A and B are shown apart, each in its own frame.
Chain A
Amino acid sequence: MTDVQQFSCTVNGLQVSTAVDTRTSAADFLRQELGLTGTHVSCEQGVCGSCTILVDDAAVRSCLLLAMQLHGAVVETVESLGGLDELSTLQQTFSAEHGLQCGFCTPGILMTVEAAKRAGTSAVAVVDELLPGHLCRCTGYDNIRKAVQVYLSPEA
């Protein structure tokens, strides 16, 4: 009794028009239908933040969005930030500061920081308000904070 419906949106600059089982989450749609496996699923409860993407410039949990709810939206995932041949400054900063270990939580954090950069959010506010919305089991967070500070500080 699967309910299949159409929707369309823009993902990483490309127009997408397709049909999905309506119970498909945005995360699963991006990963499985579009092959954008950089967005990771870890808790499906919205707690851990690994699945965070940008929808119309806002950082949101893709595990708590239905794919159908992306209709008409501008969606951006970690794949839009920079490529293997040309890491973005944000990505380079995270590597330089050793702000990742297993890397599973990392794409979600990068998207939150990217949204913050666009909104002009200060490094302090990112560290105090936004970073607690991301669970990391590997790093102990200190290097992530440093990477955020280096990336968002005015001199950078």
Chain B
Amino acid sequence: MKPAAFRYRAVGSLEEALDVLSEHGEDVTIIAGGQSLMPLLNLRLARPEILLDINRIADLAFLEITADAVKMGAMTRAATVEHHAEVKQVLPVVPQAIAHIGHPQIRNRTTIGGNVAHADPSSELPGVLACLEGSVQLQSKTRGTRTVGWEDFFQSVFTTDKQPDELVTGVTFPITEPWRYSYQEVAARHGDYPVAGVTVGILEQAGVLEQVRISVVGVADRPVRLRTLEERSSGMAATAATAAVLGRFARNEVPASDDVHVSAEYRKAIVGTLVSRTVSSLLEEIGP
């Protein structure tokens, strides 16, 4: 399986990249880590006129931690974040989710921007972004920079709000102390795309779940938040029984459909199990 021919452009600066995008827009496919794109190129399912390689843009490989957020440049490698001591401390859910992306050999190349921009409905990071209520930074030559919230950014399967002349330059994961977050998924084998992946955030105070956030990937064309359940759970006791209840409600609320591998019923059951397990593990973290 060899790609159809394309024109290859490797650029060394953000400015150059935006020039190419501005001029050629629709004809350009951006390659960052390539772990999702190269298989599509090899299968000739993607057939770009111009392949824009942004790997040499050093300015996009940043990682900034402030009190409010971890902001990652688009070219930050997944493996870098996975092992980043400070990120593990201030926002452990992100490295936790990243550890499920394929295998380490894949994560050595996967980029945060590329993964998010690819918008695979089973992908882990978009689910984490949805739970943290994060955002994506985009830039174009003619319109400058803009920030798009996760809900507006992820539109459908492999479809985002990114315009043809734009580049995803960064991804922002908010830090919302004292919320606690955790990610779990069920996959057929170690490293596979998940049947479903769940990110749960809880704001617990004195044995009560003040607020809960639950996002799910793998069940729809983009990450979904179980908003009805989130509202219902506000005020519930922070106990194991609640974890089980939340699991059952999640199973009922989550949308799902059959696919060639699993039934909708199974997928929903998995979501329920994941929600109850994730809530339980967060409660265990908090302790008695």
Direct touching of A and B (C-beta under 8 Å): yes
A contact residues vs B (CB 8 Å cutoff): 1-3, 5, 21-23, 25, 28, 44-46, 49, 52, 58-61, 63-66, 68-69, 71, 112, 129-130, 132-133
Since A5-B8, A28-B2 are in contact, a sample of 7 more A-B pairs with Cβ atoms closer than 8 Å, ordered by chain A residue number, is A22-B7, A23-B6, A46-B102, A61-B106, A64-B106, A69-B55, A130-B105
Identify which of B31-39, B129-137, B210-218, B279-287 touches chain A.
B31-39
CA distance A21 to B51 in the complex (A): 13
Asked whether B1 lies within 8 Å of A44 as measured between CB atoms, the reply is yes
Q: Indicate whether B42 reaches chain A with its CB closer than 8 angstroms.
A: yes
Q: For residue A46, which residues in chain B have a CB less than 8 angstroms away from its CB?
A: 35, 38-39, 102, 106
CA distance A59 to B104 in the complex (A): 8
Nearest 6 Cβ contacts at the A-B interface: A133-B103, A22-B8, A64-B38, A58-B108, A132-B190, A23-B3
CA distance A1 to B47 in the complex (A): 14
Contact among B53, B105, B190 for A52, CB-based, below 8 A: B105
Please give the distance in Å from B47's CB to the nearest CB on chain A. Answer: 11
| In the complex, residue of chain A having the shortest beta-carbon distance to the beta carbon of B99 | A129
CA distance A5 to B6 in the complex (A): 12
What are 14 pairs between A and B in contact, CB < 8 Å? A23-B41, A25-B42, A46-B106, A60-B109, A61-B35, A64-B109, A65-B109, A66-B34, A71-B10, A129-B103, A132-B103, A133-B103, A133-B105, A133-B191
Contact among B5, B39, B56, B108 for A23, CB-based, below 8 A: B5
Q: Indicate whether B4 reaches chain A with its CB closer than 8 angstroms.
A: yes
Q: Indicate whether B79 reaches chain A with its CB closer than 8 angstroms.
A: yes
Please give the distance in Å from A63's CB to the nearest CB on chain B. Answer: 7
With contact pairs A23-B2, A59-B108 given, residues A44 and B53 touching in the complex (Cβ less than 8 Å) = no
With contact pairs A3-B5, A22-B8 given, residues A63 and B109 touching in the complex (Cβ less than 8 Å) = no
Asked whether A3 lies within 8 Å of B106 as measured between CB atoms, the reply is no
Q: For residue A133, which residues in chain B have a CB less than 8 angstroms away from its CB?
A: 102-106, 191
Q: Indicate whether B143 reaches chain A with its CB closer than 8 angstroms.
A: no
- CB-contacts of B20-64 with A (<8 A): 31, 34-35, 38-39, 41-42, 51, 53, 55-56
Asked whether B105 lies within 8 Å of A61 as measured between CB atoms, the reply is yes
Asked whether B53 lies within 8 Å of A69 as measured between CB atoms, the reply is yes
Asked whether B8 lies within 8 Å of A3 as measured between CB atoms, the reply is yes
Asked whether B109 lies within 8 Å of A61 as measured between CB atoms, the reply is yes
With contact pairs A2-B5, A22-B6, A66-B8 given, residues A49 and B105 touching in the complex (Cβ less than 8 Å) = yes
Please give the distance in Å from A9's CB to the nearest CB on chain B. Answer: 13
Q: For residue B261, which residues in chain A have a CB less than 8 angstroms away from its CB?
A: none
Asked whether A45 lies within 8 Å of B108 as measured between CB atoms, the reply is no
| In the complex, residue of chain A having the shortest beta-carbon distance to the beta carbon of B1 | A44
Asked whether A63 lies within 8 Å of B104 as measured between CB atoms, the reply is no
